[in-house]
Structure 1
Amino acid sequence: MPVIPVKAAVGFLLSVGASLGLVVAVFQGGRLADVLDVPHSGPVVSFLPVILTGVLSGQVMDYEVFLASGVHEEWAHTGRARRPVVDGARHSVRVVTRPSASAEVEAEVEVEAEAGAEGGTEAGAGI
């Protein structure tokens, strides 16, 4: 069974569930809205799940590509099986855990929120 695609799919589903759950709990349900100083706006904007799904899909797949390519590079250099997984993951983690992609997208969304675009704050929180 191919492990990487299954792991990517599970990671994607968990990311989408956590993101949408956070957005609904805070913005629609009002939980922690006062603490986070965000408006309790009622129902979530209808296009938000589509936007979040697309952005999170890209981030999760990028993670898997970086991880798998790092493992493959180490395997190509050594020809062994076990050590490349450890070394490939260790070298890829610096690229994967950098929040630059999320920060960039969130900054763009926050600019839209400040300009008064509908759903901007919710999208920034979800990402």
Structure 2
Amino acid sequence: MSRHKSKSIPGRNLRLADQIQKDLAGIIQREIDMSRAGLITLSGVELSADYAHAKVHFTVLGAEPETAAALLNEKAGWLHSQLYKLLHIHTVPTLRFYHDPQITRGIEMSMLIDRANRGPHSGVPDEPEDQS
């Protein structure tokens, strides 16, 4: 689901944000070596009202979010040029990538709820804490 703010042309912002998210995900998967940045999922695109700027939100598994953000932002210009070839629109937004911590927080909350539901007398031991 894409995040959007503009209501200038009903639905256009949302459709464009969704298309950018879809196309970027494909380009990143096919064209960029993300081995040092972990598994990246684009979770949303937020467009400015004039479509000149896009905040691309992502989640990452298996790497530090800062590493993934640095790599994606380093490739932003190249990704912009690839989008230009695919979108066929007058203004392709400049891209900035931001880690989206909501998924990680959701997983952590789910684990806490599971632990609380087990309770002290459930007979199921708690998972050992990571001591690193």
* Bigger RCO (CA 8 Å, 6+ sep): 1
- Give the alignment's TM-score, normalised by structure 1: 0.34
